[in-house]
A = this chain, B = another copy of it.
Amino acid sequence: MTVLVVGTVAFDTIETPFGRAERVLGGSATHFSLAASYFAPVRLVSLVGRDFPPRHLAMLRKRGVDLAGLATADGETFAWSGRYEGDLAVAQTLETRLNVYAGFAPAVPLEWRDTRFVFLANGSPESQLSVLEQVRRPTLVAADTMNFWIEHAHRPLLQLLRRVHVLIVNDEEARRLGESRNLIRAGDRLAAMGPRFVIVKKGEHGCYLFARKERFALPAYPTADVRDPTGAGDSFAGGFLGYLSTAGKVGRATLRRALAYGTVTASIEVEQFGVRGLRGATLAEVRRRYREFLRFVSI
């Protein structure tokens, strides 16, 4: 089943204790698309500037990413630079240049409006809601958000939560939006705010799934070489939604397997800078890690 993603396509400049990468391909929609592309065709809605190189487009197309929704505007592509220190848990943003993305109003191509699996990458809740106005009764819509919107767009965010099936946030966002230092309590509260499922990502500590009558937890894939966590969350979402779109039914077992696949695609992503990990790994590698991961977590 095809997956639609709306988010950024960007240039990232990244410093970690393990090296530095300058103006490499990044952005939430990019990471998501590469991860989801192991499982399903991907439709990407975003906006880049005239400086965006054709080789990146070619690479994405080769991976089954349809770029009919990727517009080009006069000006420069969204550029982010950040630094990670210590245990790499938190990115320190050095600079964000929205550039052409400042004027981004997502337009889903007419022929994509019946896509059944939709990922709204981090963005203003208003912009995420505008995408929902354009798609027709999707099977599953998942949305990411961040602390900025939790603080500055609380009301539209709550409105969004009542309209999406899955909310994907990290632990700090969950604690803030769920108003509890206890993540279990926070997750239970988020699950009562609208979404059928709430996924809380905890980086090296794995993830939680909260539903009205269910909780589930997974450790992270045991990666001894984390070099660059940029895009880990979107790569997780890509593996999760990509697998789920192939599973037919969104049930207890398929959700859990989908989270394990998301864990695997995120692990591949963080082992190298930029998108090199996901660009280089084959589906066979994804499947091998998945089997290894099941052994790692099975009692």
Contacts and interface: CB of A to CB of B under 8 A. Distances in A.
Interface string A132-154: 00000000000000000000000
Interface stretch (A24-32, A33-41, A215-223, A239-247): A215-223
Most chain B beta-carbon neighbours within 10 Å: one of A204, A208, A215, A222: A222
Given A202-B205, A205-B202, A224 B299 contact: no
A256 interface: yes
Given A256-B299, A297-B297, A299-B294, A222 B226 contact: no
Contacts of A182: 87, 223-226
A208 B299 CA distance: 13
Contacts of A215: 222, 296
B219 A296 contact: no
Interface stretch (A100-108, A121-129, A183-191, A279-287): A183-191
Contact of A299 (B188, B206, B298): B298
Q: Copies per complex?
A: 2
B297 A224 contact: no
Contacts of A183: 204
Contacts of A87: 181-182
Interface residues of A, number: 34
A260 interface: yes
B204 A219 contact: no
A216 B296 contact: yes
Interface string A188-230: 1000000000000010111010000001111110111110000
A180 to B, nearest CB: 8
A53 interface: no
Given A217-B222, A218-B299, A219-B219, 10 more contacts: A184-B222, A184-B223, A206-B206, A206-B219, A218-B219, A218-B297, A260-B299, A297-B297, A297-B299, A298-B299
Interface of A: 86-88, 181-185, 188, 202, 204-206, 208, 215-220, 222-226, 253, 256-257, 260, 294, 296-299
